[in-house]
A and B are shown apart, each in its own frame.
Chain A
Amino acid sequence: MVSVWTQLEPHLADVEKPARYIGLELGAQRPEHRPGRVSWLLTYPDTYEIGLPNQGLQILYEILNERDDAEAERAYAPWGDLEAVMRRERIPLFSVDTHRAAGDFDVLAFNLSAELTYTNLLNCIDLAGVPVRAAERRPQHPLIAAGGHCTYNPEPLADFLDFVVVGDGEEVVSEITAVLADWKASGRSEGSRTGMLRELTRVEGVYVPSMYEVDYDGPAIRAIRPRYPDVPERVEKRTIADLAAWPYPRNQLVPLTEVVHDRLNVEVFRGCTRGCRFCQAGMITRPVRERPAEQVRTMVSEGLRRTGYDEVALTSLSTADFSGIESVVQGIVDDPSTCGQVSVSLPSLRVDAFTVGIAAQIQKARRTGLTFAPEAGTWRMRQIINKLIREEDLYGAVTSAFSQGWRRVKLYFLTGLPSETDEDTLGIYELARNCVEIGRTYTKGVSVKASVGGFVPKPFTPFQWFGQNTVEELYRKIGLLRDAARRSKGLQLTWHDPRATLAEGLASRGDRRLGPVIEQVWRRGGTFQEWSEHFRLELWLEAMADHGLELDWYVYRHRTEAEVLPWDHISAGLHKDFLWQDWQDALAEVGLPDCRWTPCYDCGACTGYSIEHVVASAVAPAGGSQGTGQDLSTGHLPGTSVPVELRSRRLVAAGS
């Protein structure tokens, strides 16, 4: 195999941030390529800065390189300036590790964490010199694969992907490697590709789109069926039972140039059962699997020593819920070998004073900003989304933060949630303004930033049946908030572009008929759609119209219980009737406490796979918000309401 480095090098001085393309990170591997091995190019379809820290990709990179029958390198989407050079000079997509051409690998495996990267995926396949449509690939072409949260609905990409991994990748990559090694050994003859793909369908957690057929009934789906009797009707996700058996990454990559989340990351648990109904990650990653505290301590101390980082993030979907979080955190802070210079960050903080207490314990030096995600403005709305944060919890958290020296608080909210009224929307303003008022009593320079995103319903959540708000409706709601926030000093409002929310919604719950739409957007130059300066809604609208598809059908309408959903042949372990019941409970404004410490609701995630929650503590964390051992009869504090004039307008009840 030939390195493209000598072709690339003369042009790097002319592109932005060339250090993105050189590799050489601490932890980078340069595997020796041997014909008998299966070579994987693990590719993140966005820039290096976004993709390098991706833990899923790094975990697989190590696991594959530890195997005798596999080797793995990494690639990232080149920025537009380099892409222009590559197309002009005929330089193919390359690995950053040894600068080998992507087309020389056996598998190009993409991590899909965001729907708006789909056009980048096509661009990377094309830059690799591989036909973008799976049906046009020949035996010599690499297989195009994908994993990550977006692959729970792989249908919009069905035309482009040879195979898809659903769920945890730690075990399944080895099983796939074994199948591919056999195929390579057999000589990859003409026509053998289909047989190998059919073989892959036997591996649990692997979905091969071309092995399934979709019957339509007008715009609706009648049925999704396997083409052959030996292909499973439903593809079950993979779940590793014990996180302790997978202490990866062991050698986290330390980049030479700036990236997001540039710190040591140690995953403390996987899965979440808080049951927030908008949250796809919390639904599809069940059950909860904690890493033993001792292993966390070892991974932190060894990781810090090896990397030289002065910051470690304990990652999970709700880190304050980790059993014994306080003692783990204290142990890191007090470790004499770190000389008090290490800061710990806890992403995805729960909203309560207890949590701020932990934050205070660890951020002795750098008290700059704290972020909370109440997600909705009123108690009614938070019951609907099952994020059971009472107002007193939020105000307690904020009081605790400002009284202990923090000056900036950031609050995350969603708008466009099911049955949201203008009163609910303006509740966002009310909560944020009250936080400013609380801050004023402690500091003059208070800053509260409310960040509002348009809600996109995701597959395998109770809200998968909900019709997303239109772009116009989201703009109207943001307008209400903006008008209200103008009156409040110290409150800053930022919002996500509703047009991008629409495109995300399209891809999120789309079916196979969206393939040509994605392809057309890509062919007309619509790459890096995650980046606001590159996002072009008109390309999406044109492509939808050109293919006779309706936004209303794909995005805006409510789905019915009987409808065949495009992802019904994929299983996240969750019973569909559990999700439907949870959707009905949502509309009835009924909250559901966390099942880690309360009786099981039989969602299916544990029972279906005969696995269980792995939680060290038998009781809910002390002082925790969100419904564990709290009085949830009301989450609204009388006397804190703000005299704003409300224009209540209840939307059509969803699901009816």
Chain B
Amino acid sequence: MSTGLRIRFSKQGKIRFTSHRDVARIWERVLRRAELPIAYTEGYSPRPKLSFGLALSTGYESHGEYLDVALRDALGGVELNELPRRLASVLPEGIEVQAVVDLQAGATSLQQAVTSCTWHIEVGPALPSAVAHAMAGALAAPELVVTRQRKGRSVTDDVRPAILSAEVLGGTTIEAELATQPRGLRPAEFLAAIDPTWRAGRVTRINQWTQVGGARREVIDLPPAATPPPHAEVRAS
């Protein structure tokens, strides 16, 4: 039985400077503007029942963000594939719905389902040759021990297992697949682990991956036509 919707959307351009909380608020209003039969929480302050996947840092772009929306009624006459267009008319510039699917009862939550993300990370002040060299060195080592802040405490651990793959695409842009569990690694932490002087320039989340029967799959696959050409911007430069 369908209990709701799972929406895949992109966040690009100026709007990337909104925070995760901002995006949640934007969606609440957007869903009301679209007049969808969204479900509300009970209690003193009823809120739309929305659940977001992994937070995207303020300033990062994404080709694949996710949102689960609980519905109180069936969509009633609206086809799923009409929804992206309907939402487009009420969404702010820079957020685009790429796909909407039925959310089955008992579906694994986004936070649990996603095991890794692929990122494009532009390295701040660094020479392309230096980036390639440092990357190769860091990845060849058996472990990559860093000290980082977690919940206000300094924690020292080996982040190498969280780097599932990493390669230089061209220039100073790195494509990296970083684990989100059991212990996640953020793009900025990834850079710091390789070279503490590096800073993240433009950062884009390209995919969020789940494990289905031992194979890696996107949370919602996009039809081929809608997939952004692989690394088009980066390779062109």
Chain A residues with a Cβ under 8 A of chain B: 5, 12-13, 17-19, 21-26, 254, 256-258, 305-310, 341, 365-368
Whether A256 contacts B46 in the complex (CB less than 8 A), given A13-B59, A18-B58, A305-B33, comes out as no
Assembled-state Cα–Cα distance A21/B18 (Å): 10
Instruction: Select from chain B the residue with minimum beta-carbon distance to A99.
Output: B14
Whether A24 contacts B33 in the complex (CB less than 8 A), given A13-B59, A258-B22, comes out as no
B15 close to A (CB within 8 Å) = yes
Contacts of B14 in A (CB 8 A): 5, 22-24
CB within 8 A of B15: which of A24, A254, A365, A367? A24
Assembled-state Cα–Cα distance A18/B17 (Å): 6
Contact present for A19 and B94 (CB under 8 Å) = no
Contact present for B25 and A19 (CB under 8 Å) = no
Contact present for A308 and B46 (CB under 8 Å) = no
- What distance in Å separates the Cβ of A48 from its nearest Cβ neighbour in chain B? 12
Contact present for A368 and B44 (CB under 8 Å) = yes
Contacts of B15 in A (CB 8 A): 22, 24, 256
Listed A/B pairs (28) with beta-carbon separation below 8 Å: A17-B19, A18-B17, A18-B58, A19-B18, A19-B19, A19-B22, A21-B17, A22-B17, A24-B15, A24-B93, A26-B92, A256-B15, A256-B18, A256-B22, A256-B26, A257-B18, A305-B33, A306-B33, A308-B29, A308-B30, A308-B31, A308-B33, A308-B90, A309-B32, A341-B40, A365-B44, A366-B44, A367-B44
Contact present for A366 and B31 (CB under 8 Å) = no
Contact present for A254 and B29 (CB under 8 Å) = yes
Contacts of B40 in A (CB 8 A): 341
Chain B 14-46 interface mask (CB, 8 Å, partner A; 1/0): 110111011001101111110100001000111
CB within 8 A of B22: which of A5, A257, A309? A257
Contacts of A24 in B (CB 8 A): 14-15, 92-94
Contacts of B19 in A (CB 8 A): 17, 19, 257
Contact present for A18 and B59 (CB under 8 Å) = yes
Contact present for B45 and A12 (CB under 8 Å) = no
Q: Which 3 A-B pairs have the closest CB atoms?
A: A308-B29, A18-B17, A308-B32
Assembled-state Cα–Cα distance A142/B93 (Å): 31
Contacts of A341 in B (CB 8 A): 40, 46
Assembled-state Cα–Cα distance A306/B17 (Å): 24
Assembled-state Cα–Cα distance A367/B93 (Å): 36
- What distance in Å separates the Cβ of A87 from its nearest Cβ neighbour in chain B? 21
Contacts of A257 in B (CB 8 A): 18-19, 22
Assembled-state Cα–Cα distance A26/B94 (Å): 13
Chain B 143-166 interface mask (CB, 8 Å, partner A; 1/0): 000000000000000000000000
Instruction: Select from chain B the residue with minimum beta-carbon distance to A337.
Output: B35
Contacts of A256 in B (CB 8 A): 15, 18, 22, 26, 92
- What distance in Å separates the Cβ of A265 from its nearest Cβ neighbour in chain B? 15
Instruction: Select from chain B the residue with minimum beta-carbon distance to A23.
Output: B14
Instruction: Select from chain A the residue with minimum beta-carbon distance to B27.
Output: A308
Chain B 92-121 interface mask (CB, 8 Å, partner A; 1/0): 111000000000000000000000000000
Contact present for B29 and A19 (CB under 8 Å) = no
Contacts of B29 in A (CB 8 A): 254, 307-309
Assembled-state Cα–Cα distance A309/B19 (Å): 19
Given A22-B18, A254-B29, 8 other A-B contacts at CB below 8 A?
A17-B19, A18-B58, A19-B19, A22-B14, A22-B17, A257-B18, A307-B33, A308-B28
Contacts of B46 in A (CB 8 A): 341, 365
Contacts of A17 in B (CB 8 A): 19
Instruction: Select from chain B the residue with minimum beta-carbon distance to A25.
Output: B92
Assembled-state Cα–Cα distance A367/B45 (Å): 9
Contact present for A366 and B45 (CB under 8 Å) = yes
Contacts of A305 in B (CB 8 A): 33, 35
Contacts of A368 in B (CB 8 A): 44
Assembled-state Cα–Cα distance A86/B2 (Å): 51
Assembled-state Cα–Cα distance A185/B30 (Å): 44
Instruction: Select from chain B the residue with minimum beta-carbon distance to A368.
Output: B44
Instruction: Select from chain A the residue with minimum beta-carbon distance to B58.
Output: A18
Assembled-state Cα–Cα distance A254/B18 (Å): 14
